[in-house]
Structure 1
Amino acid sequence: MTDRDLFLPVAAQPSVDSLVDQARLAEEAGYDTAWLPETWGRDAVTTLSCIARQTDEIDIGTSIMPVYSRSPALIGQTAATLQEVSEGRFRLGLGPSGPIVIENWHGAEFGNPLRRTRETVEIVKKVLSGDEVTYDGEYFDLGGFRLRCEPPNPAPPVDTAGMGPKAVELAGRFADGWHALLFTRAGLRDRLEDFDRGSDLGERDRSEQRVTLSLTCCVDDDPETAKRLVKQHTAFYVGGMGTFYRDNLARQGHEEVAHEVHESWQAGEKETAMDSLHDDLLSKLAVWGPPETARERFRQFTDIDGLDATSVSFPRAADSAQIETTLRALAPE
């Protein structure tokens, strides 16, 4: 049985306090980790600091923090500080995000994301070790400094996100875990082979690495309402967030649907894009329905060999009541 995690809402919430309340509710309900993505809303560091101060047992982590928005050394400092504030409950999740966010929001060039991610992971781990950081890479050339405060003991694990074969192999080789998003059971198994291969290449102890799958979930007594919310969310990612999610879905054997959704969304035909996501495919990517139906659908994703944690995520358009209902309904049994 996999761990049960919570992926705090990616959409804007009423306040930082509302995110703290959701994390506290997850702790009470028995969730293992509360993950917070960093997009173009509240920053993850401040929010997770508030969560750390108002929880006691639940682990916290970033899923994901972009590698283009901060220097690797600053990310290392941040990870060390959040590990201290949370008293050892922090896990760092990193990833490249995508050109839409990095170029249009951060104003940075999105280039060679795999190399940038690898160098960031390597530097962050050096920072967290407390040793002097000397690094000569393609993007970063550092030397002469070490962490000024005591290094965290234990150092927080460092995960990466990715969808393509090389990105997932990189996670297995250099990171302590992999964050998966928008995968069917069959598609996830294929990428787990890449992760395991990377783990072997890096001579890592696979039993100490953690693979987490994020599932879009919505529990509502009206199944059509719940289905529409997860369908809109999925279509937005495939159609509106560049080409990475489109290509990821295509690699899993759904090329025609992936391109239909993307082309329709880009043309402003969002209803058509949503209609292209037929129920059979949607059920392989997301969870919805009244409580018992949703729990049964969720259980179908918890027995995949090599998967360590399954994370309850929420549609972008879900309101606070739907988020709380879903959180409670899919809590660990």
Structure 2
Amino acid sequence: MSESDHGRATLGVHLPVAAQPSLDGLVDVALRAEERGYERVWMPETWGRDAVTALAVMAERTDEVGLGSSLFNVYSRSPTLVGQTAVTLQEASEGRFRVGVGPSGPAVVERWHGVDFDRPLRRTREYVEILRRVFSGETVRYRGDCFELDGFRLRCGPPETPPPVDVGGMGPKAVELAGRFADGWHALMCSPDGLRTRLADLERGASLGDRSVDEVHTTLVLPCAVSGGDDDEGGEGRACGLVTQHVAFYVGGMGTFYRDALDRQGYPATRAHEAWQNGDREEALAVVEGFVDDLAVSGTPAEAREALTRFRGIDGLDEVAIAFPRGATDGDVAATVAGLAPERGGD
């Protein structure tokens, strides 16, 4: 796990799912991140624009910022197709791409894609193994519990530098899997103490894989909202409201994975989930408001930068990817990118 020169995690940008009215607007956020000195731009894929097209455009229009998927789910595309995609994006970006994959959850996989959410951890492990075989350029022959493949081989040259493969995971076993088999791990919905607990799971997984945990690049996806300026009266209230609504939506409306992850960390997420499911959004928001400062960054630029240091200084964390609440406007996104931007050459 590489650290910045100052012992702090580097900063990336986790692009908004649906805040931008056009593809150009989304790519502009990536360009702004590059100009501001962010290390990497991650493109999620849930609803809205697909990540592959967006990342291809970003690879063409940017010059040096790293690019990555966060995350392709392992059910909606085959591993060989994602392997081809990753090889192509690595070529298009001239070696700047990381491929992030993960199982997502039943709410997305079954309801949106119509696929059985079966053996998510095993499927993810096999997916990672197949991706690496695709990247090698050799013929893929694979016999697993979830996949049986024979005869696939790239008809283009394999990448000189294979894209690193990152895995998303929230529970202890999922994080252990990332430590054992992946090049990186994506964490989300973690307090600083919760993240430290999961980092212990990562280290255990690395030990099981007979390697050092330092080989695993760790990224925390952190909801952030910054008001327009330090003298923006009332702006910090709007920023806090945005991250509270964001966390409440994921805890209450996106299945049980986020709820369970927060329950494990000692937060009353089940109460928020039940209130949301019963249609009492105000109660759900009130519950989440009681602990949202442990999971997100919000406020004026000065307040947000100070809050961000709690996460960037966590031992074992390589990168913090600032993520935008689902209700963020274009102005909110711009203010957050600017307010939390690293200082070139010194941050």
> Considering the TM-score relative to the shorter chain, is it more than 0.5?
yes
Letter in 1 for 2:277: Q
- Give 3-state SS (helix, strand or coil) of 2:114's partner: coil
How far apart, in 2, do the equivalents of 1:204 and 1:147 lie?
29
2:137 counterpart residue number: 130
Is 2:227 aligned against 1:214? no
CA contact (8 A) 2:19 2:327 kept: no
2:278 counterpart residue number: 267
Which residues of 2 match residues 136-215 of structure 1 at below 5 A? 136-215=143-222
Question: Post-superposition shift, 1:19?
Answer: 1.0
Letter in 2 for 1:261: A
Letter in 2 for 1:3: T
Question: Post-superposition shift, 1:12?
Answer: 4.5
CA contact (8 A) 1:133 1:145 kept: yes
Letter in 2 for 1:233: H
1:44 counterpart residue number: 51
1:10 counterpart residue number: 17
Aligned residues: 330
- Give 3-state SS (helix, strand or coil) of 1:105's partner: helix
2:241 counterpart residue number: 228
Is 2:322 aligned against 1:312? yes
| Range moving further from structure 2, 49-58 or 11-20 | 11-20
How far apart, in 1, do the equivalents of 2:266 and 2:56 lie?
41
How far apart, in 1, do the equivalents of 2:128 and 2:112 lie?
23
CA contact (8 A) 1:12 1:41 kept: no
1:121 counterpart residue number: 128
| Range moving further from structure 2, 64-73 or 194-203 | 194-203
Alignment root-mean-square deviation, CA? 0.9
CA contact (8 A) 1:7 1:36 kept: yes
Letter in 1 for 2:253: G
How far apart, in 1, do the equivalents of 2:133 and 2:282 lie?
48
Question: Post-superposition shift, 1:54?
Answer: 0.2
CA contact (8 A) 1:23 1:34 kept: yes
- Give 3-state SS (helix, strand or coil) of 1:88's partner: coil
Q: TM-score, normalised by structure 1?
A: 0.97
Letter in 2 for 1:303: G
How far apart, in 1, do the equivalents of 2:239 and 2:19 lie?
19
Question: Post-superposition shift, 1:142?
Answer: 0.9
Correspondence for 2:338 among 325, 328, 332 = 328
Share of identical aligned residues, percent?
A: 58
1:165-188 Cα deviation digits (max 9, x unpaired) = 000000011100100001001110
1:5-38 Cα deviation digits (max 9, x unpaired) = 0000023421110111000000000000000100
Question: Post-superposition shift, 1:104?
Answer: 1.3
How far apart, in 1, do the equivalents of 2:266 and 2:157 lie?
49
2:103 counterpart residue number: 96
Question: Post-superposition shift, 1:206?
Answer: 2.8
Name structure 2 gaps, 5 residues minimum.
1-7
- Give 3-state SS (helix, strand or coil) of 2:307's partner: helix
Return the structure number with greater relative CO, CA threshold 8 A, min gap 6: 2
Letter in 1 for 2:288: L
Question: Post-superposition shift, 1:135?
Answer: 0.6
